[in-house]
Chain A
Amino acid sequence: MSEYVIEMLNITKKFPGIKANDNITLRLRHGEVHALLGENGAGKSTLMSVLFGLYQPEEGIIKKDGKEVKINDPNDANALNIGMVHQHFKLVECFTVLDNIILGVEPNKFGFINKAQAREKVVELSKKYGLQVDPDAMIEDISVGMQQRVEILKMLYRDNEILIFDEPTAVLTPQEIDELMQIMRNFTKEGKSILFITHKLNEIMAVADRCTVLRKGKCIGTVDIKDTTKEELSTMMVGRPVQLEVEKDEAKPGKVVLDVKNVTVPSKLHSNNAVKNVSFQVREGEIVCLAGIEGNGQTQFVYALTGLDKMSEGSITLMGRDITKASIRNRAKAGMSHIPEDRHKHGLVLDYTLEENLVLQRYWQPEFRTGPFIRRNEVRKYANRLIDEFDIRSGEGPVTPARSMSGGNQQKAIVAREIDRDAKLLVAVQPTRGLDVGAIENVHRNLVACRDSGHAVLLVSLELEEVMSVSDRILVMYEGEIVGEFDPKKVTVQELGLYMAGAKNMYREVGHGGADNGKEKEA
């Protein structure tokens, strides 16, 4: 038997105008977690798509157990026991968990599905690997973490031996990430081999055995994790030393910019309020972070704050002006910019070009219009400036369709657009979601620069590391309420975690069992 279960040798894959993979060699050993590290657009997903049969490489060969194989489509990959969890899950929303797992390989008798047999196997697998799922739940009703477990069970159900995880942690809460890491370790004990695509260095250090680094379509090298450091990996990935810690001076808060009083937002899902009586202020020159586990009302609060949704009670004052009932456009004019949580739903018009998206919030301003006409030259100039300043990479520059850009560069475009609006208040919701270290460093530096130039920043984040390193003040939200306010220098991550899970509350007594309520309700 060969030492390697999968060998991808000298793979080259071209797209119009770009070499996505340039002579890349990757070897996967039996029973190892092999991380594939690279910035957005470095060619990680392309390489994995080649392995999974979604793309055909122009050059290079793939070997399984030392024998050359041809993978023309995902069915071939499946036959070779290669399974993949995609970054965006491929699940049928209105099917049950069980239906999704057996989809495509339904056990049947004379054409009738034999679900009992399938259920037995699924339950057995989920017990064996600690993948808790409810086989009869609808996909649309379960949390993102559980959806991912369904994807993993799909691979296991098909007896896959080589498991590809494409940025699996991008959508998970810290606790879910820990669970996933444990599950991956269990798999390798069983002799399964894992390819783990990510750009989060902590996770690689925690779980991987070896790591192959890609940069701009080229293979930079493969290293053993035990012989390397985070700094070395990030340097390999970005091509220069990266500042992993956020550098910033003491905040010098000035006048109050945003004043939120007793804001209550009704929930769309149940009769309770999603946001309950939230009050706080953000001053110029400070970054206030709204922290919390996903689904505790942050999204609804931001919707109400930015005007995407209505609130039932309370008031919002921006720069001394009451904007409680103002339209979105008027809020923008009053000095609010907004990096939305969901870049595809709100942040971008995917059918538009990059330059058209870069002026989405200011095409109506006098600099970009003469009468009813858009000043296309100005738009182009402006777009080119932002592309340079914020290092937005794309195939065709300003005229690249937004749809064809990588997720990280789409996010960079939104960040560039919103920060450059120079609004007094910047509402940034998970601005670094799905970004690589280089880009995260860039966004964080921009947020701090924004603060230092006298703007107020409200950051909503699920990443504790980001919360601790970027913010000047932390507000923890739990079940729609603010349960605590902290100075990041005087609080520990563990302490914050207790508040985020509802075990502690600064303003009132916590009843029994509060601690384990939080997450389960959301799941």
Chain B
Amino acid sequence: MKKGLISVLASVISILVGLLFGLLLLIIIKPGMAFPKFGQMLTAGISSAPKLAKVLYQAAPLIMTGLSVAFAFKTGLFNIGASGQYTVGAFAALACAIIFQMPWYLCLLAALIAGAFWGVFPGLFKALFNVNEVITSIMFNWIGMMAVNLLCMNIKQDGKLIMLPKAWISGNGLTDRTVSLSVANPNALIPKMGLDKLLNSNYMNISIFIAVAFAILLWVILSRTTFGYELKACGSNKNAGIYAGINAKRNIVLSMVIAGAMAGLGGGIYYLAGTAEYTIQKALLAMGFNGISVALLATSNPIGTIFSALFISYIQVGGETLQPVYAKEIIDIIIAVIIYLSAFALLTKTIISKRIGTGTANANDKLGNPIPPEELKGRKAHAHAHGNKQKEGENK
């Protein structure tokens, strides 16, 4: 338990230093407004019920992609393919909703299965041919996104496009976004159960509870079941896993399948809220890559993922209040700093445990594999190269 406390402390310290850095940035850019705006940013998320709803609404898919990356990390794999799995999951959910007119829970199930299917390939390549999952999952990000674009633009019924129809939208031109769910199939919207009235926001639905439930489920699998024991054993020492009679290849595939399923479900949750439509994409969706940040900040703990996703969502909502005095992108910088720092979590943890004299001399990295800081920087840089900037589905 002490070690858990130290992990949390390390993450909190990273967050505080990151925020301090953000404040410094604000002061440098425009000193007069820095403190009031900073205060606004920090409190925006709880300033009103609708804002809080927005935080929860954004956090739900973030938890899912965060879980996807975190689960893979715990089992020694780096799932950079969460974005592709997320996109494929989103498509499956929307297709089931629009074309097959299914209810929301079947759509979510479809999203889960589609994401899992997208995780199979990197898993199989890794298990059978020892191809690095980072490379295959990056490729499958693009394959997934392009395939979804292609499908959206070509699925016809009675000679008419239905995913991106003229028919649903007034005007003549073909739109670049999928049809609004509230028109096409209100049954496919994730139920709100009165939460929208409670928080006075159209964004609010039960997706946050779905996400939290899965986080708890994954935590139970990882820390309480023999299956999780096997996955983690193979993840941190494949040879020892084989020696213990564990089917390492099967576990690699399963691990990627579960990771993919989580990201896919994230896609379903986001688009079945009915507040955003899938738009034809030119670059990979950022939600999958933000999942990497979430997982790192949570030191790959599924329960921690809930809190880190909530935090990142909270600060993103807060960032909107910085406009127009400051650019909204300052939030991206603050988050980046926090992630950099949490990548040094090992270091921070060691320092803390030395200071308070608890834990062991060599505190273990919470990631399944110890990852050297340089590599993490590379990974983060990669995530950023794929553009945190682009928005994901236009809000209504």
Residues of A at the B interface (CB closer than 8 Å) are: 15-17, 306, 308, 327-332, 338, 340, 345-352, 356, 360-361, 363-364, 369, 372-374, 376, 395-396, 400-401, 403-404
Contacts and interface: CB of A to CB of B under 8 A. Distances in A.
Q: Give the interface centre of B227, B236, B243, B357 by most chain A CB atoms within 10 Å.
A: B243
B353 A16 contact: yes
A374 B227 CA distance: 9
B359 interface: yes
B172 interface: no
Contact of B236 (A327, A345, A346, A349): A349
B245 A332 contact: yes
Contacts of A369: 226
B360 A349 contact: no
B361 A328 contact: no
Nearest to A356: B229
A361 B245 CA distance: 8
B237 interface: yes
B364 A351 contact: yes
Contacts of A350: 236-237
A338 B236 contact: no
A403 B242 contact: no
Given A16-B353, A374-B226, A352 B242 contact: no
Q: Give the interface centre of A16, A349, A372, A400 by most chain B CB atoms within 10 Å.
A: A349
Given A328-B245, A360-B233, A401 B360 contact: yes
Contact of B237 (A306, A348, A376, A395): A348
Given A346-B243, A376-B224, 18 more contacts: A16-B353, A328-B243, A328-B244, A328-B245, A329-B245, A331-B245, A346-B240, A346-B242, A347-B240, A349-B232, A349-B240, A351-B236, A351-B368, A360-B244, A363-B229, A373-B226, A400-B360, A404-B361
B357 A16 contact: yes
Contacts, number: 83
B243 A347 contact: yes
Contacts of B224: 373-374, 376
A374 B228 CA distance: 10
Contacts of B227: 372
A372 B364 contact: no
Contacts of B240: 345-349, 360
Interface in B226-270: 226-227, 229, 232-233, 236-237, 239-246
A350 B370 CA distance: 11
A352 to B, nearest CB: 7
A345 B233 CA distance: 12
B226 A372 contact: yes
A395 B360 CA distance: 8
Contacts of A400: 360
Interface of B: 224-227, 229, 232-233, 236-237, 239-246, 353-354, 357-362, 364, 368
B361 A308 contact: no
6 contacts: A16-B353, A16-B358, A17-B360, A330-B245, A356-B229, A363-B226
A3 to B, nearest CB: 36
A404 B360 contact: yes
B243 A338 contact: yes
A373 B236 contact: no
Contact of A401 (B226, B233, B241, B362): B362
A361 B244 CA distance: 5
A328 B242 contact: yes
A372 B227 CA distance: 7
Nearest to A350: B237
Contacts of A327: 245
A349 B241 contact: yes
B238 to A, nearest CB: 10
A17 B237 CA distance: 28
Contacts of B237: 345, 348-351
Q: Give the interface centre of A348, A351, A360, A374 by most chain B CB atoms within 10 Å.
A: A351
Question: What 8 A-B pairs are tightest by C-beta distance, nearest first?
Answer: A329-B245, A351-B236, A346-B243, A328-B245, A372-B225, A349-B237, A360-B244, A15-B361
A53 to B, nearest CB: 17
A308 B229 CA distance: 20
Contact of B360 (A340, A352, A361, A396): A396
Contacts of B362: 401, 403-404
Given A373-B224, A374-B229, A308 B243 contact: yes
Nearest to B241: A349
Contacts of B236: 349-352
Contacts of A395: 360
Q: Give the interface centre of A308, A338, A363, A395 by most chain B CB atoms within 10 Å.
A: A363
B1 to A, nearest CB: 10
B242 A401 contact: no
A389 B240 CA distance: 24
B243 A340 contact: yes
A212 B233 CA distance: 40
A423 to B, nearest CB: 12
Contacts of B245: 327-332, 361
Nearest to A343: B240
Nearest to A396: B360
B152 to A, nearest CB: 39
B328 to A, nearest CB: 40
Contacts of B360: 16-17, 395-396, 400-401, 404
Contacts of A349: 232-233, 236-237, 240-241
Contacts of B244: 328, 360-361
A520 to B, nearest CB: 30
B46 to A, nearest CB: 38
A400 to B, nearest CB: 7
